[in-house]
Chains A and B, each alone.
Chain A
Amino acid sequence: MRILVVEDDKDVAGFVVRGLKETGHVVDHADNGRDGLFMAASENFDAIILDRMLPGGIDGLKILETLRAQKNAVPVMILSALADVDERVKGLKAGGDDYLTKPFAFAELLARVEALGRRGKAEVTQTKLVVEDLELDLLSRQVRRAGQKIDLQPREFRLLEYLMRHAGQVVTRTMLLEGVWDYHFDPQTNVIDVHVSRLRQKVDKPFPVPLIHTVRYAGYMLRAEGAP
């Protein structure tokens, strides 16, 4: 993916840019609002990581509003130290696709940006999700693996659907909480792990090859064996 990072703090920017490059992305960096807006408007990116408070008279929200006014639909993730619900709402209203508060784990940032980049590509309305021998029919709400029917609770179905839509990508616990349960806070107990482990019991355990993998310090990934 080609990603633009607009962030004025040298250390944070360096850490993000290096991390993204290491995971195989092409990264451009702007350290002020003016350059950021210019680059975002004149070049094609798969995703933009945008700090909210920037020097140079143009802050993150202003860049975002300008881009959206120009009908530029590039996926934008806002990065901010402002964690209030109101601030989050403001960022999303201005046209942001995701909002991540500082401090953050790089794994979280990476997982979210990759999810955003994927979303940017035309998401055809699918009726069936397929990974290896696992099939999920969105219309009949049935799941089969190797031709065998698997009975899932409604919430397990949505969890599996989320994982399959992001197949090959890391999804963090926070992303699952937000995407499947619409929870925007951190439960103290690791409830997500329990849900995933129950899903595994049904989807992976009876079969020789596991599809749902735990990614250390990050979250989970559903992928075909042998796929990167």
Chain B
Amino acid sequence: MIEAGLFRSAGFRFGLVYAILLTISAAALAMFLWWFTAGLLDRQTASAIRADAQGLIERFDEGGIEGLVGTIEDRLAANVDDDAIYLLVDLNMNRVAGNLDTWPSIVDKPGEWQQFQVRRSGMRSLALVNRYELPDGYHLLVGRDVQVRVQLGNLLTDALIWAVAIVLAMATAGAVIVRSLFRRTVANVSATAAAIAAGDFAQRVKVSGRGDEFDQLAEVINDMLDRIGRLMDGVRQVSNAIAHDLRTPITRARGRLEEAARNAESNADLHAAIDRATIDLDDIVTVFQALLRIAEIEAGSRRASFRRVDVVTALEGVADLYGPVAEEKGVDLTVSYPQRLEINGDAALIQQAVANLVDNAVKFSPEQGVVKLAAAVEAHRIRITVTDQGPGIAEEDRSRATERFYRGDAARGTPGSGLGLALVQAVAYLHGGVLRLEDARPGLRATLELAHAEEGD
């Protein structure tokens, strides 16, 4: 069972693959080296013997037995290395010429390489020979003393075998190291995941800072955890908000109905109370719908319906819808945008986000104030800005302004649910953009920054 467990371990498998690959490549290298050293020596000897024999046979054809004997003796005399072996025998296997005394019995067939021990000038040595048949019953034996070469070859072979063995040992050690490295890296991720599973959501995967693949993985996991964290905060915020901000209107409606049931003196009173309570309920439903819509946007499912849309169309629609409202209030709504600005996104959501910003701007604008709706491309980003001259949002409140139900001091007493900017921010995030709130001195400048979809994107 231990073996089965070992094979199931990815670390072990990686280690094993490493070891096998290393050993195979080392063995291939060793074979290659052997082929070009020891193997080459053997091949060279064999071809030298063949060429030698070929020359002797041609000599016999031209000059007969005398010529051959002469040539053999010449060659022996000229052989400085003293490694040539010749033996010419007659029909009765009697020596005619050459540096061997007797025909070795092992060499009985022509065309076959034979290697055997010889004794030459009192020294044991190793000979590689071949037998050639000549006319008139003569036999010729041509060979080389290969003692030194064989020794060299054996040395090389031994060295290569040792090298492979050492590589094998190193591969095994390497495999163990790879496995433990792998384990340690994965342990980092799995320890974090386990801690989070146990409820410690503050844990993050450690980033080594090397910027390698494992760091990239760690960063992706950490980004994912951050996003989950944000979503969880959102859920917490919503439940808190429901607890606080929905209880109030519900209490109001309930109180109104209860009081009417107890104290209403006329039908008209009763109707008035019921009508007010219905309006309260409608407000609650509106808040609910806004909350659900933000949740729907944050869930990201609408990304599936993204397509290329023209932001300018949305802006024109909003300007058209709010123009008369602004005018009624004595507010000047000015617009400036190019002919076309394309993004990949959801036109209805962009429109709603911009409508919320313009709605706020008009609502908080002083009379005779100016609200500017503008859009422009800057460094591959589309910036939609809505600027008003209202009271703005105090610096310390700005980061909280996009929370659900947050209402600044200036907003108290004005109609609204405190969900407008939360929705805009959710739309911005959905499109991979941001919502920025800045001081326009005086007033507020809200910037919705989105990725520009350029030609050919």
A183 and B325 in contact, given A103-B285, A188-B416 (Cβ under 8 angstroms): no
**Known: A86-B301, A191-B325, A194-B328. Is A186-B359 also a contact (CB below 8 A)?**
no
The answer to whether B359 touches A187 (Cβ under 8 A) is yes
Question: When the two chains form the complex, which single residue of B281, B282, B301, B321 contacts A181, counting CB atoms closer than 8 Å?
Answer: B321
CB distance from A102 to the nearest CB of B (A): 9
Q: Is B55 an interface residue (CB 8 A)?
A: no
Which one, A85, A182, A183, A217, contacts B296 given CB within 8 A? A85
**How long is the Cα–Cα vector from A83 to B328 in the complex, in angstroms?**
33
Nearest CB of A to B192, in Å: 34
Stretch from B144-152, B183-191, B348-356 contacting the other chain: B348-356
Task: Tell me how far the C-beta of A193 lies from the nearest C-beta in chain B, rounded to whole angstroms.
Answer: 9
Instruction: Please determine whether A183 and B359 come into contact, CB atoms closer than 8 angstroms.
Output: no
Q: Which residue of B lies closest to A195 (CB)?
A: B324
Q: Within A142-186, which residues are at the interface with B (CB < 8 Å)? A: 155, 181-186
Most A CB atoms within 10 A — which of B321, B415, B417?
B321
Chain B positions within 8 Å of A195 at CB level: 321, 324
Residues of B within 8 A of A (CB-CB), count: 30
Residues of A within 8 A of B (CB): 83-86, 101, 103, 105, 155, 181-189, 191, 194-195, 198, 217
Residues of chain A within 8 A of B417, CB atoms compared: 188
Known interface pairs A183-B351, A184-B348; A189-B320 also in contact (CB < 8 Å): no
- Is A194 touching B286 in the complex (CB atoms < 8 A)? no
Known contacts being A86-B301, A105-B282, A155-B320, is A185 close to B325, with CB within 8 Å?
A: no
Add 8 more A-B contacts to A86-B301, A187-B355, A217-B275 (CB < 8 A): A103-B281, A185-B293, A185-B355, A186-B286, A188-B356, A188-B416, A191-B324, A195-B324
Other-chain residue from A84, A155, A181, A189 in contact with B362 (beta carbon distance below 8 A): A189
B206 an interface residue at 8 Å Cβ cutoff?
no
Whether B285 pairs with A181 at a CB distance below 8 angstroms is: no
Distance in angstroms between the alpha carbons of A217 and B362 in the assembled complex: 25
The answer on a CB contact under 8 Å between A181 and B415 is no
Residues of A within 8 A of B275 (CB): 217
- Which secondary structure dominates chain A's binding surface? loop
B363 at interface by CB-CB < 8 Å? yes
Residues of A contacting B348 in the complex (Cβ-Cβ under 8 angstroms)? 85, 183-185
Contact A188 B320 (CB under 8 A): no
Q: Which residue of A lies closest to B417 (CB)?
A: A188
Which residues of B in the span 111-127 have a Cβ within 8 Å of any Cβ on A?
none
Interface contact B363-A181, CB-CB below 8 Å = no
Q: Which of A85, A185, A188, A191 contacts B415 (CB 8 A)?
A: A188
Contacts of A155 in B (CB 8 A): 320
In angstroms, Cα B331 to Cα A194, docked, is 14
B326 CB to closest chain A CB (Å) equals 9
Residues of A within 8 A of B441 (CB): none
27 CB contacts below 8 A, A to B, read A83-B292, A84-B292, A84-B296, A85-B302, A85-B348, A86-B302, A103-B285, A181-B317, A182-B317, A183-B317, A183-B348, A183-B351, A183-B352, A184-B348, A185-B293, A185-B348, A185-B352, A187-B355, A187-B359, A188-B359, A188-B363, A188-B417, A189-B325, A189-B359, A194-B324, A194-B328, A198-B324
Interface centre among A86, A105, A186, A191 (most CB of B within 10 A): A191
Given contacts A188-B359, A189-B359, A189-B362, contact A183 B293 (CB under 8 A): no
B275, B320, B324, B359 — most chain A CB neighbours (10 Å): B324
Of all A-B residue pairs in the complex, the 9 with the closest CB atoms, nearest first, are: A194-B324, A194-B325, A185-B352, A191-B325, A198-B324, A194-B328, A188-B359, A191-B321, A155-B320
CB proximity of A115 to chain B, nearest CB, Å: 21
CB distance from B403 to the nearest CB of A (A): 17
> Which residue of chain B has the shortest Cβ distance to A84 in the bound complex?
B296
Chain B residues positioned under 8 Å from A198 (CB to CB): 324
